[in-house]
């Protein structure tokens, strides 16, 4: 079997990539295991130097890799280049902060301290929507602490998958530090079960994450899950309306609206909902949609045709449940997996379709009467990845934020990841953390060292 990479804007076949069979999979598992034996004993200054070389290469190749990302998954080229540069900044951050993150931690009142050691090879199951950043945000801290990784990237971005393996090698990473594994999803269970794998991390759908977690649990292996989201964007009556609309549109439609942490449910105070909706629709409808490699484009195609079909199915289901489409909502003619910016209002918040994650350019706007209503609506979902709260009264904003069930809350801003800050979800959106100090230590062995008297 082979995997295909196709340009989602044109349907053009970009490349075919053979799947790794059982023998090749075993060979690659041995590579990552042997690599860990060496890399875990590599002094920290050398691991840090590697991360700095990695950052240099990412910056030097940002446009080349950006064009690869755009061709394989369809995001506008400036955003794709920005994705690569963000990964470079992540590598620099962990290089600069790594020694502090890994410093021994004294236990007050005892003759003991804690050191953080690598756990071994990590199996990463990665998605297509951020084909460089999603992978590197877990690889960089893993490499810092002495782990090695073997990555099953999404079938449709195998050009990026191979480029990442080459990138690590070109930055001076030793054999086995980063190993690409081209297999279908149903082959992952055997990899998880392999004794050479010590932990698993997955970014993807709730169903995929739970399947991986169940398999890892059967074998007593730690797993980090970053799954879907249906992030609430709460606009209280004293919010800066113009800024909330502007950044709300950015949050919803960036990355072709294919982001777990995008704002998806806009909860707006009744006194503002008419003005918010009018401005939001105007700005969303004005987003230039087209070939993501061309200048000025803000919305490219969805990554696959079946993904577009599912988004359109969700929109139709929402209309059947009572929603009205204020803009968009129809599949355009012509080639490519394009879907226009779409805004829905009037959908009953307890409708089944309102509980689904819209992984495409669809925004849902819901009015609320009171602060309590806003909190209830925000939490009325299985997801808990991120959220935003908008208010000029910061004490109030913090009070509301403290009651939202999510892994991250942004006040007067939109949710996003940052290399310096921990990132992860709550409830059905997963557990464990990436990035920041917590992310650096997530996949380590916290070893107690107790020194007795002479």
Task: Give pLDDT, residue 32.
Answer: 98
Q: 263 pairs with which residues across the strands?
A: 231
User: Which tens digits make up the pLDDT trace of 310-332?
Assistant: 999 999 999 999 999 999 999 99
Per the CB < 8 A criterion, the answer to whether 280 and 249 are in contact is yes
Q: Are 426 and 274 in contact (CB under 8 A)?
A: no
Asked whether residue 184 carries a pLDDT value surpassing 90, the answer given is yes
β-sheet with 444-450: strand ranges across: 105-106, 112-118, 444-450
CA distance 271 to 235: 10
Counting residues of the chain whose pLDDT is more than 90, the rounded percentage is 98
pLDDT single digits (tens) 125-136: 999 999 999 999
Supply the mean pLDDT for the chain. Answer: 97
What does the pLDDT read at residue 275?
98
The reported pLDDT for the residue numbered 186 is 92
Based on the residue annotation, tell me whether 260 is a catalytic residue of this protein: yes
CB-CB contact of 311 with 302 (8 Å): yes
Residues in the chain: 454
pLDDT tens-digit series, residues 328-377 = 999 999 999 999 999 999 999 999 999 999 999 999 999 999 999 999 99
Q: Is residue 454 predicted with pLDDT exceeding 60? A: no
What pLDDT, on a 0 to 100 scale, did the predictor assign at position 216?
96
Catalytic residue among 260, 356, 357, 434: 260
Banded pLDDT at 208 (limits 50, 70, 90): confident
Asked whether residue 180 carries a pLDDT value surpassing 60, the answer given is yes
Regarding pTM above 0.95, the answer is yes
Label residue 372 exposed, middle or buried (CB < 10 Å: 0-12, 13-18, 19+).
Answer: exposed
Q: Tens of pLDDT along 227-252?
A: 999 999 999 999 999 999 999 999 99
pLDDT score of 453 = 81
- Cα–Cα distance, 39 to 371 (Å, whole number): 52
Residue 18 C-alpha from the chain's centroid: 26
**Annotated catalytic residue, options 155, 226, 357, 442:** 226
Is residue 195 scored above 70 in pLDDT? yes
Task: Give, to the nearest 10 degrees, the angle between helix 158-170 and helix 62-73.
Answer: 160
CA distances from 139 to 75, 145, 193 (A): 22, 10, 21
C-alpha to C-alpha distance for 355 and 359, rounded to whole angstroms: 12
5-34 residue pLDDT tens: 999 999 999 999 999 999 999 999 999 999
Tokens 């449940």 map to which residue? 321
122-125 and 149-152 strand pairing: parallel
CA distance 396 to 386: 18
Residue 1 banded pLDDT, cuts 50, 70, 90:
confident
Return the closest-CA partner of residue 6 out of 63, 73, 67.
73
pLDDT at 202: 97
**pLDDT more than 70, % of the chain:** 100
Write the CB contacts of 438 (distance below 8 Å, at least 6 apart in sequence). Answer: 422
Q: How far apart are CA 91 and CA 54, in angstroms?
A: 7
Query: In this predicted model, what pLDDT tens digit does every residue of 68-119 receive, in sequence order?
Result: 999 999 999 999 999 999 999 999 999 999 999 999 999 999 999 999 999 9
**What mean pLDDT comes out for the span 177-195?**
97
Please confirm, yes or no, whether 72 is among the known catalytic residues. Answer: no
């Amino acid at each position: 079997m082979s995997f295909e990479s196709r340009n989602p804007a044109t349907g053009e076949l970009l490349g075919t990539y053979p799947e790794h069979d059982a023998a090749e999979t075993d060979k690659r598992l041995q590579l990552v295991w042997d690599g860990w034996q060496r890399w875990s004993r590599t002094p920290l200054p050398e691991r840090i130097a590697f991360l700095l070389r990695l950052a240099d290469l990412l910056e030097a190749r940002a446009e080349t890799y950006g064009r690869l990302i755009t061709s394989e998954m369809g995001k506008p080229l400036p955003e794709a280049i920005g994705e690569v540069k963000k990964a470079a900044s992540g590598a620099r951050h962990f290089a600069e902060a790594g020694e502090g993150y890994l410093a021994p931690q004294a236990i007050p009142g005892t003759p003991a301290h804690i050191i953080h050691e690598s756990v071994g090879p990590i199996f990463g199951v990665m998605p297509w929507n951020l084909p460089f950043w999603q992978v590197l945000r877990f690889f960089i801290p893993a490499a810092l602490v002495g782990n090695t990784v073997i990555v099953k990237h999404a079938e449709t971005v195998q050009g990026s998958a191979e480029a990442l393996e080459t990138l690590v090698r070109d930055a001076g990473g030793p054999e086995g530090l980063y190993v690409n594994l081209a297999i279908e999803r149903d082959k992952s269970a055997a990899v998880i079960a392999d004794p050479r794998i010590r932990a698993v991390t997955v970014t993807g759908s709730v169903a995929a994450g739970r399947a991986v977690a169940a398999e890892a649990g059967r074998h007593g292996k730690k797993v980090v899950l970053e799954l879907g989201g249906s992030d609430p964007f709460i606009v209280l009556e004293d919010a800066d309306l113009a800024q909330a609309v502007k950044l709300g549109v950015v949050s919803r439609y960036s990355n072709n609206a294919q982001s777990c942490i995008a704002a998806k449910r806009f909860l707006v105070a009744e006194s503002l909902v008419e003005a918010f909706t009018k401005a939001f629709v105007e700005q969303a409808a004005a987003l230039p949609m087209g070939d993501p490699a061309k200048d000025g484009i803000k919305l490219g195609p969805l990554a696959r045709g079946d993904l577009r079909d599912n988004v359109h199915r969700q929109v139709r289901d929402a209309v059947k449940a009572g929603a009205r489409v204020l803009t968009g909502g129809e599949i355009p003619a012509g080639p490519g997996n394009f879907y226009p910016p779409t805004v829905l209002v009037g959908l009953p918040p307890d409708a089944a379709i309102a509980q689904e994650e819209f992984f495409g350019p669809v925004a849902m706007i819901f009015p609320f009467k009171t602060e309590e209503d806003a909190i209830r609506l925000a939490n009325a979902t299985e997801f808990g990845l991120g959220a935003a709260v908008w208010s000029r009264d910061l004490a109030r904003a913090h009070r509301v934020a403290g009651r939202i069930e999510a892994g991250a809350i942004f006040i007067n801003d939109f949710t996003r990841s940052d290399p310096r800050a921990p990132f992860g979800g709550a409830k059905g959106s997963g557990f464990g953390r990436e990035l920041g100090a917590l992310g650096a230590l997530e996949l380590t062995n916290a070893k107690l060292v107790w020194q007795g008297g002479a």
